[in-house]
Chain A
Amino acid sequence: MNDFVPPPLLGVGINYLPSAPEIMRAGEGLLDFFELSPDILCIEEGQGPARRLTPQPRLLDRTLRDTDGRPLVVHGLGLSMGSAHGWNEGYLKLLDMVHELRPFLWHSEHLGFLSVETPAGGEIVTGIPLPMPYTEESLNLLVPRGAAMAQRYGVPFLLENLTHYLPGLPTDGGRDEVAFLNDFVERSGCGLLLDLYNLHCNATNQGFDAREALPRLRLDRVVQIHVAGGGSHDGFQMDVHDTVAPEPVWELLEWVVPRLPHLAGISFEMLEEARLTPQAVRQQLERARTVWDRYHPRHGKNLRHGTA
């Protein structure tokens, strides 16, 4: 097991979208860091173990240029951390290359799996991250993988709570997601990316109280917070990140930030497909900034980009 070492304070960030330069510019003066998902720069060739992710040279160049001068953290989409038949080796190779070009301060991934094997020995992609059962067997898979990720890049690895829509997941001894995440960080030495919108979705869809769940979480391991929004469909709050964050998410943020001793960054997360205006995005960042500065005033003034 690695020892948990909190990363340096960053501040407020956004997920980097190379195809939305006007949105990225909307954060001028407010952004301390970028969160990059290297998958979005790539084309994919091959399938299964032969899968290869190749960055498109122009996109990669633009990304390196646009993010230059600000700290970078990486948020994986396609590692399929929880796939029992094997995670996505192609993604790891991509990440090795990104790390060579631009070291990052931490890496995060979702608590779930995206690919499964077929009876014929092939692989299918589920197309949506599916949740893990909250069992010892899942922990036995994830704990060494989380520790290996931290060791491979020499930076913290964070596991993110997942939105899902499936009721009554199998569990050992009554563990819920919070208890599972706590066991994961305790055994692996890893940290947490607390996605408050994902928590809000699960609480709404599965009928629990997010304010009851949060205090049970190992808040001392939360390194990053995601703030996001999304629409609803058929009575479900959807994990689509295409709107501004709803009020309950901001209320959770206000409650939780003063209780996180190792929080290093709050980021607004949105999809490329979101129809948010630059002004709307700026308002989200300003609101996150207000909360961050309230509890990290000196840091906010000292390290904000371009104001050293």
Chain B
Amino acid sequence: MALRDWQRALGRLVEARASGRDLQSVKDSLAGLELRDAERAWLQEVTETRGFALTGRVPRWWRETRVRRSARLTLLALGREAEARIEAYMRAVPNFTLFFVAEGLSFLDWVGSTPVPPHVRAVAQFESAMWRLQQVPPTPPSAVGVALEEPLARHPAAALIAFDAEPEAVFGALLMGTALPEPTPQAHPVLVAPGLPRAWRPATSEEARAFLACESATMARALCALPGVRLDTLEGLLAAQALVGPPRSA
């Protein structure tokens, strides 16, 4: 037996069953593996047993649990589509983790990459941003004064998310189980940043403009050249720790 090939075959069979994919392609690949005939036969036959079915059910249950716990808002936003989306996600993304947040982020990224009903993409991005924020160690607030010749950069865990309606109305509807608001033509940017009291708040259009322009280190003067952006706009973003300035000596 080549143990590596035997494990590769069994592991892929279990993962395929757990993810709701057809086992046939894995079974077809058995011929090319370094296995004895009896081992090949065992791998073919074991998939018909109740024990194999249970072996596939356990990781499937865990994956569902991880997604349900880590993507609550997004699943609420998906409503009746939620179950089908979880199924589709598991078929599309092979199992790669035992960790709740890693699975949740993967699901949220996947949802964001697929066609979804109104508001869902923004909610998924928001939920993802909130998880990412929790994963960074807290940083002490820095001075919020800014000089024009100072370079500014985005905090690595800060995010700006474009909602299609008032975010409070969207979240309220999700939590109350009522109808989501109709999308509106104007943008509703939401800032997620470590220095905010609840880690998020609606952003002004000027804040959104400055934050988006600050993709890499950018001089404050260049940001202030954007329409409507002033030094106090940048100071607000610094206070929220959405942007960070250079370290200053005490």
Asked if A and B bind, the verdict is: yes
* Chain A residues within 8 Å of B, Cβ to Cβ: 39, 42-45, 47, 56-57, 77-78, 82-85, 113-119, 123-128, 130, 133, 135, 137-138, 141, 164-168, 170, 205, 233-236, 238, 273
The answer to whether B6 touches A170, judged by C-beta atoms less than 8 angstroms apart, is: yes
Assess the B42–A124 pair: CB atoms within 8 A.
Answer: no
Instruction: Give me 8 A-to-B residue pairs in the complex whose CB atoms sit less than 8 angstroms apart, sorted by A's number.
Output: A114-B98, A119-B29, A124-B95, A124-B96, A126-B95, A127-B14, A130-B55, A168-B42
Contact, CB under 8 Å: B7 / A83: yes
**Chain B hits for A128, CB < 8 A:** 14, 18, 55, 58-59, 62
* A53, closest chain B residue (CB): B99
Residue contact B95 to A168, C-beta cutoff 8 Å: no
Chain B residue numbers with a CB within 8 Å of A236 are 50-51, 54
Q: How far is the CB of A204 from chain B (nearest CB, A)?
A: 12
Collect the chain B residues with CB atoms within 8 Å of residue A123's CB. Answer: 96
User: Chain B residues with Cβ under 8 A from A44's Cβ?
Assistant: 97-99, 101-102
How near does chain A come to B56, taking the closest CB pair, in angstroms?
Answer: 8
Given contacts A85-B4, A118-B94, 14 further A-B contacts (CB under 8 A): A42-B99, A44-B99, A44-B101, A47-B97, A84-B7, A118-B8, A123-B96, A130-B11, A137-B1, A164-B51, A165-B55, A166-B49, A170-B38, A236-B50
CA distance A205 to B39 in the complex (A): 22
Given the interface contacts A135-B1, A137-B3, A167-B49, does A127 sit within 8 Å of B99 by beta carbon? no
Residues of B within 8 A of A (CB): 1-4, 6-8, 10-12, 14-15, 18, 29, 38-39, 42, 46, 49-55, 57-60, 62-63, 65, 94-99, 101-102, 135, 137
Nearest 7 Cβ contacts at the A-B interface: A127-B59, A116-B11, A165-B51, A84-B4, A44-B99, A84-B3, A44-B102
- A124 partner residues in chain B, CB cutoff 8 A: 11-12, 15, 94-96
Docked-complex contact B54 and A43, CB < 8 angstroms: no
Residue of B nearest to A119 (CB): B29
B137 pairs with A130, CB closer than 8 A? no
- Report yes or no: A205 in contact with B3, Cβ–Cβ below 8 A: no
Name the B residues within 8 Å of A234 (CB-CB): 50, 53-54
Bound Cα distance A47, B99 (Å): 12
Please give me the residue from chain B that is nearest to A137 by CB atom.
B3
Which residues of the other chain, A, contact B10 by a CB distance below 8 angstroms?
A: 116, 130
Main SS at interface, chain B:
helix
CB distance from B240 to the nearest CB of A (A): 22
A57 touches B137 (CB 8 A): yes
- Across the interface, do A165 and B54 meet the contact criterion of CB distance under 8 Å? yes
> In the assembled complex, how far is the CB of residue B138 from the closest CB belonging to chain A, in whole angstroms?
8
Q: Are A138 and B54 in contact (CB under 8 A)?
A: no
Q: Are A133 and B99 in contact (CB under 8 A)?
A: no
**How many angstroms from the CA of A39 to the CA of B62 in the assembled complex?**
16
Minimum Cβ distance to chain B for residue A114 (Å): 7
B49 and A78 form a contact (CB under 8 A): no
Check B102 against A127 for contact (C-beta < 8 Å): no
Which residues of B sit under 8 angstroms from A130, Cβ to Cβ?
7, 10-11, 14, 55
Task: State whether B135 touches A166 (Cβ < 8 A).
Answer: no
Contact status A125-B54, CB under 8 Å: no
Complex Cα spacing A45 to B46, Å: 33
Closest Cβ neighbor of B4 among chain A residues: A84
Partner among A42, A85, A118, A165 whose Cβ is within 8 Å of the Cβ of B12: A118
* Bound form: Cα–Cα A265–B49 in Å: 37
For the complex, what is the distance from the CA of A56 to the CA of B134, rounded to whole Å? 9
What distance in Å separates the Cβ of A106 from its nearest Cβ neighbour in chain B?
23
- B12 adjacent to A116 (CB under 8 Å): yes
Whether B55 and A166, one on each chain, are in contact in the complex, defined by CB atoms closer than 8 angstroms, is yes
B95 and A127 contact, CB distance less than 8 A: yes
A162 to nearest B CB, angstroms? 12
Task: Give the docked Cα–Cα distance between A135 and B6 (Å).
Answer: 12
Contact assessment for A127 and B54 in the assembled complex, using a CB-CB cutoff below 8 Å = no
CA distance A123 to B8 in the complex (A): 10
A64 to chain B, nearest CB (A): 16
A126: contacting residue among B38, B53, B59, B135, CB under 8 A: B59
Contacts of A118 in B (CB 8 A): 8, 12, 94
B135 CB contact (under 8 Å) in A39, A56, A167:
A56
CB distance from A245 to the nearest CB of B (A): 20
Interface centre among A115, A123, A127, A168 (most CB of B within 10 A): A127
CB distance B99 to A43 under 8 Å?
Answer: yes
Distance in Å from the Cβ of B189 to the closest Cβ of chain A? 27
User: Roughly how many angstroms separate A119 CA and B33 CA in the complex, as a whole number?
Assistant: 11
Instruction: Contact check, B98 vs A141: say whether CB atoms are below 8 A apart.
Output: no
